[in-house]
Amino acid sequence: MKLIAYLFPKKVKPDWVNYPAELNELINSGQTDLTPWRLLDKELSVSISASLKKRYNRQLFPFAMRKNNDDVACFEKNCGDKVKIIHDFSSKGWENEGEFPNFNDWLAEVKNEMRDW
């Protein structure tokens, strides 16, 4: 698995997004399928980001999505390291599905879900 397919170069990535080291490690090790989640490649990330901005008028940077529903894990501008879970296609104002203090907390929950899946 190549980082280039998943991580944006600095000149393209929004300056407010900082990739956590653990995200880089997952991609480098080829662990992009975290059933029920999957990491987004750049192409899908750009597409989902544009859709989210249009629907919710928020600056969200999606990096993963659930396979069994419309939940998307994102970083949001001016929210620090928090991971926001956005339920895409819901009515504006009802899209917030959850939040984690940081990527590692989100990943820990994903690993729990993987065991139960």
- List the domains of the chain with CATH numbers: 3-116 (3.40.1580)
Judge if pTM exceeds 0.85: yes
End-to-end alpha carbon distance in the chain: 24
pLDDT at 7: 84
Output Rg (C-alpha) for the chain, integer angstroms: 13
Q: Is the pLDDT of residue 115 over 80?
A: yes
Angle at 41 between CA 56 and CA 51, to 5 degrees: 20
Average pLDDT for 45-58: 94
pLDDT at 13: 87
Average pLDDT for 107-112: 98
Structure tokens at 28: 């480098």
C-alpha dihedral, 70 to 47 to 100 to 94, nearest 10°? -50
pLDDT at 49: 93
